[in-house]
Amino acid sequence: MKIAIPVDDKSMETSVCQSFGRTPYYLIYDTESQVSIFLDNSAVASQGGAGIKAAQTIVDNQVHALITPRCGENAAKVLMAADIMLYKTINTSIKDNIAALNNGKLSLLEDIHPGFHGHGG
Amino acid sequence: MKIAVLSGKGGTGKTLVSVNLASVTKESIYIDCDIEEPNGHLFFKPKNYVLESISVKIPIVDERLCSGCRICVDFCKFNALAFIINKLIVFDDVCHSCGGCIVFCPEKALSEKDKLIGIAQCGVSENVTVVTGTLNVGESSGVPIIKKLLKDFPLGKEFIFIDCPPGSACIVMESIKDADYCIIVAEPTLFGVHNLNMVYELVKLFNKPNGVVLNKCLEGENPSEKFCLEKDIRILGRIPFDQELGKLNSNALIAVRENQTYRDLFSSLLQTVTKEVQHETVTNP
């Protein structure tokens, strides 16, 4: 299964980024082959709709599940249209979150926020 | 002359100043651009309100024609379009109605539809023509309403007062764009100074001649006055923190129509502003 996590840097030791739409990078990780790829987030400097563009990137990379601390409603609409599972991170460690997913310990992200529109996050 | 009245935060006195200035003129137009919560009409109680609905154009896709080329998705600077599992999704709230996606669609799969975002109203209160815009709850941008208010309604009266939204965002920029002069209203608090600074930066960016009205003035130190002196900003007038004025205002009465003292205060403020604007037109025609 291919999963995506918003991350602060291009390394497995870095932290989970607090923003989904405006994170600098995404980790794309294959739980079977254990191959990890880091993608630049082209939406990071968008004037608006960063979450939508970021979600489009996730969908285009055939990801099955997204692990994120939070997600806005527009991004969630795109991800749900593509049947991508949304999980909530347990802490800021990438490895902990991947391990928790493998052990079935992650819960679904249910509190979808209405967006910050340049006023936060 | 078009005079915009603005301030960094809500509750500073934009409406107090613009409503009373408009009322002491012989004849004027008052335009309430605070489209998220317009309240000038509560004071004016205008008669013969004429109502007009305002809509914007947003794209609608014909799925039978869409080839999935994504030219529209890539074109949109606001990311209002996404192409997911062979289906184009349009985010109405994110769309800024530029129409570019429709122009660039090679399959002619996109067309325009109207989306209602609010209303404009126009009525009369004695010597003042009152124009009000109201954005529907839940809509993200009132810019199209402000554009419409400022384009359609002013009918060449000598004085036009634009009551701006609070802050320094797009809707404020749109409100002051064509103004001849900007009056910034400031209150005597540290928070007030912070907001005054933001708005002052904005009017400077727009190269607008400007001055400050100090509202809610008390005895003692006034941080906003200090700021004006430091930055060499023209102080146009001072409004006292006065119980009588507060009472009139909270009863939705127009102070200059009720009380001679306030009539004199705002008449003199109007004279000062008029002189400033004329001076600006002579020195910067």
SS3 readout for chain A = CEEEEEECCCCCCCEECCCCCCCCEEEEEECCCCCEEEEECCCCCCCCCHHHHHHHHHHHCCCCEEEECCCEHHHHHHHHHCCCEEEECCCCEHHHHHHHHHCCCCCECCCCECCCCCCCC
Task: Report ipTM for this prediction.
Answer: 0.85
Q: Are residues B102 and B134 in the same domain?
A: no
Q: How far apart are CA B64 and CA B108, in angstroms?
A: 11
Per the listing, tokens 């980024």 go with A17
Q: Are residues B97 and B164 in the same domain?
A: no
Q: Are residues B123 and B230 in the same domain?
A: yes
Residue A41 in contact with partner chain B when CB distance is under 8 A: no
Q: Count of CB atoms within 10 A of residue A55's CB?
A: 33
Q: Which residues of B touch A64 (CB under 8 A)?
A: none
- For B84, the closest of A46, A50, A59 (CB atoms) is A59
Residue type, A40: D
CB-defined contacts A:B, below 8 A: 50
Q: What letter does residue B127 receive in the DSSP assignment?
A: T
Q: How far apart are CA B65 and CA B62, in angstroms?
A: 6
Q: Residue B126 has which token pair?
A: 């004695």
- Identify which of B278, B136, B272, B285 has the alpha carbon closest to the alpha carbon of residue B213: B272
Task: Give the per-residue pLDDT at A120.
Answer: 41
Q: Are residues B204 and B228 in the same domain?
A: yes
Q: Are residues B256 and B148 in the same domain?
A: yes
Q: Are residues B40 and B82 in the same domain?
A: no
- For A49, the closest of B85, B87, B94 (CB atoms) is B94
Residue of A nearest to B78 (CA): A48
Task: Give the per-residue pLDDT at B157.
Answer: 72
Residue of A nearest to B74 (CA): A53
Q: How far apart are CA A22 and CA A41, in angstroms?
A: 7
Full residue range of the structural domain in which residue B104 is found:
63-108
Q: Which residues of A touch B87 (CB under 8 A)?
A: 81
φ/ψ of residue A62, rounded to 5:
50, 45
Candidates B83, B84, B91, B137: best to mutate against A (most CBs of A within 10 A) is B84
Residue A59 in contact with partner chain B when CB distance is under 8 A: yes
Question: Are A48 and B79 a contacting pair at CB < 8 A?
Answer: yes
Residues of chain A with pLDDT under 70: 116-121
Residue B87 in contact with partner chain A when CB distance is under 8 A: yes
| CATH number, domain A2-102 | 3.30.420.130
- For B82, the closest of A50, A56, A117 (CB atoms) is A56
- Strand arrangement of the beta sheet that strand A85-88 belongs to: A36-40, A25-30, A2-7, A65-68, A85-88
Helices B260-283 and B14-24 meet at what angle, rounded to 10?
A: 90
Q: Are residues B68 and B168 in the same domain?
A: no
- Identify which of B195, B209, B189, B171 has the alpha carbon closest to the alpha carbon of residue B285: B209
Question: Are A78 and B82 a contacting pair at CB < 8 A?
Answer: yes
Q: Are residues B45 and B179 in the same domain?
A: yes
Question: Are A52 and B80 a contacting pair at CB < 8 A?
Answer: yes
Q: How far apart are CA B209 and CA B142, in angstroms?
A: 25
φ/ψ of residue A80, rounded to 5:
-70, -35
Q: Are residues B191 and B271 in the same domain?
A: yes
- For A47, the closest of B77, B82, B87 (CB atoms) is B77
φ/ψ of residue B143, rounded to 5:
-55, -45
Mean pLDDT for each consecutive 10-residue tract of chain B (285 residues)? 93 96 96 96 93 95 96 96 94 92 97 96 95 92 93 78 95 95 96 95 97 95 96 96 95 97 97 91 67
Q: Are residues B243 and B143 in the same domain?
A: yes
Contact B206/B229 with Cβ under 8 angstroms?
no
Q: What CATH number is attached to the domain comprising B82? A: 3.30.70.20
Q: Are residues B142 and B85 in the same domain?
A: no
Q: Count of CB atoms within 10 A of residue A4's CB?
A: 26
Q: Residue B191 has which token pair?
A: 């928070």
Give me the number of domains chain B comprises: 2
Residue B83 in contact with partner chain A when CB distance is under 8 A: yes
Q: How far apart are CA B66 and CA B71, in angstroms?
A: 11
Q: How far apart are CA A29 and CA B42, in angstroms?
A: 59
Q: What CATH number is attached to the domain comprising B26? A: 3.40.50.300
